[in-house]
Copies of this chain bind each other. A is one copy, B any other.
Amino acid sequence: MAQKPSIPKGTRDYNPVQVAKRHYIFNTIREAFETFGFQPIETPSFENYETLMGKYGEEGDRLIFKILNSGDYLNKADEQAYLEKDSNKLTGSISEKALRYDLTVPFARYVVQHQNEIEFPFKRYQIQPVWRADRPQKGRFREFFQCDADVVGSTSLWQEVEFIQLYDAVFSALKLDGITIKINNRKILSGIAELIGASDKLIDFTVALDKLDKIGEEKVKEEMLGKGIPQLGIDKLKPLFSLSGSFESQIERLKDILDASDEGKKGIQELAFINKAISELGLSTAELELDVTLARGLNYYTGAIFEVAAPKTVQMGSIGGGGRYDDLTGIFGMKNVSGVGISFGLDRIYLVLEELNLFPETVSKNVKVLFINFGDEEALFSLKAIKYLRKHGVNAELYPDAAKMKKQMMHANKRAIPFVVLVGDEEMSSNTFTLKNMISGEQSNVTLDVLVKEVK
């Protein structure tokens, strides 16, 4: 094979530094999750075909990777579909498994399947890869990790309060100061829909409203009219255009605006409750912001809606999101299980940390000490010392071959190993070690115990 091998588009190899950085993020999130009382579960990479199909809309169905049945799979192929050469229709008969598309549906499936072993409210987290047959593009991959934390089995708003604190805890631990946690409530959006007299135009309305900063009030109104939102509705909601100031003052304004909508008022109450609690508890580095244009996953969320924005110094889409949903497990026949959850956008968080240079220098567990190999006798003497170093938690190794010293030193350099140890006849007879600091160039002759101290 003359051509170098490659990997499928939209997938990635991770080199040691990248793995170390990714695990640093995972571990930080994992630790915060556990401090907050969330417990990990893991589900299989592939689910039964029928578990996933039909859960993400038509577009989602298309983007799910299906696994071809093993053996003589055409034997059970749908005959009609085969005759018609209809790919879409044939799939279900030659594939009975599909790769996980997100962590939400497998979680719902898990809750229903294991409902008798689970103690509710159930707080779970899950950090696993998902796969989507999306067209790959910058920042969009066909294999990527999701990090989700959810609670199911309680409608208490204290959980929304907890999730806001959890976001704050994770991003503070990552030293990513200045993130904004945006919050909205589906019930406020429903109230708005009621008032503009066009529930089906709600998304058009919020999308247009979201552009206020960029294009100004007049242009926003034009867009709304163009989308078929009645002038009367726009007039009624004019006060939304000047909604600004503190969380509290926005709440007060919203009370006026949505006075005619019971559901809207309920949403305001919920937001006010959450905001009061957060004010009392305080956030370390994050800010909580009310954003009535926030409408992500509108068809899915039933209460709070969250989205996390990176610090304003960085150009980046949302780095997290979530909300309250009232019927997660309904798709599998288990009704009335309310849930609320958040997720972290790992790939984007990685890019932000990289851009702001926030990965700790110690993140990569690189080798601290390389012992130069001068021959079998020296190697054996060295390995005894290496064993001792490792016992004391120092990552150490021997260059495997008695190659030219220059080559071995170059190897240490290329791998950015900070210390090199030289062992010759003299060292062996005096039971000492010549330690060279590869950064300063300093060299000293030390005992094993001093060696451990020096490199630690």
Assess A390 versus B36: contact at CB under 8 Å? Given A44-B143, A151-B400. Answer: yes
Tell me the A371-424 residues at the B interface (CB within 8 Å): 373, 379-380, 383-384, 387, 390, 393-398, 400-401, 411, 414-415
Are B87 and A75 in contact (CB-based, < 8 A)? yes
Assess A37 versus B4: contact at CB under 8 Å? Given A13-B113, A46-B11, A68-B91. Answer: no
A34 touches B (CB below 8 Å): yes
Which range contains the number of A residues in contact with the other chain?
Answer: 35 or more
Are A16 and B37 in contact (CB-based, < 8 A)? no
Q: How long is the Cα–Cα vector from A151 to B452 in the complex, in angstroms? A: 25
A333 touches B (CB below 8 Å): yes
Residues on B with beta carbons closer than 8 Å to the beta carbon of A415: 119
Are B158 and A43 in contact (CB-based, < 8 A)? no
Assess A281 versus B395: contact at CB under 8 Å? Given A5-B109, A70-B62. Answer: no
Partner of A13, one of B67, B114, B397: B114
Are A5 and B113 in contact (CB-based, < 8 A)? yes
Majority SS at the chain A contact face: mixed
Residues on B with beta carbons closer than 8 Å to the beta carbon of A3: 333
Are A277 and B67 in contact (CB-based, < 8 A)? no
| A interface residues with partner B (beta carbon < 8 Å) | 1-8, 11-16, 19-20, 22-23, 34-37, 39-48, 51, 62-63, 65-68, 70-75, 77, 82, 85-88, 90-91, 94-97, 99, 109-110, 112-114, 117, 119, 121, 123-124, 129, 131, 133, 143, 151, 154-156, 158-159, 161-162, 165, 169, 277, 280-281, 331-333, 365-367, 373, 379-380, 383-384, 387, 390, 393-398, 400-401, 411, 414-415
How many copies of this kind of chain does the complex include? Answer: 2
Residue of B nearest to A72 (CB): B87
Are B34 and A395 in contact (CB-based, < 8 A)? yes
Q: How long is the Cα–Cα vector from A367 to B82 in the complex, in angstroms? A: 55
Q: How long is the Cα–Cα vector from A169 to B385 in the complex, in angstroms? A: 15
Partner of A332, one of B5, B47, B112, B124: B5
A104–chain B nearest beta-carbon distance, Å = 14
Residues on B with beta carbons closer than 8 Å to the beta carbon of A4: 112-113, 332-333
Are B65 and A66 in contact (CB-based, < 8 A)? no
Residue of B nearest to A382 (CB): B158
Assess A41 versus B14: contact at CB under 8 Å? Given A333-B1, A390-B169, A395-B35. Answer: yes
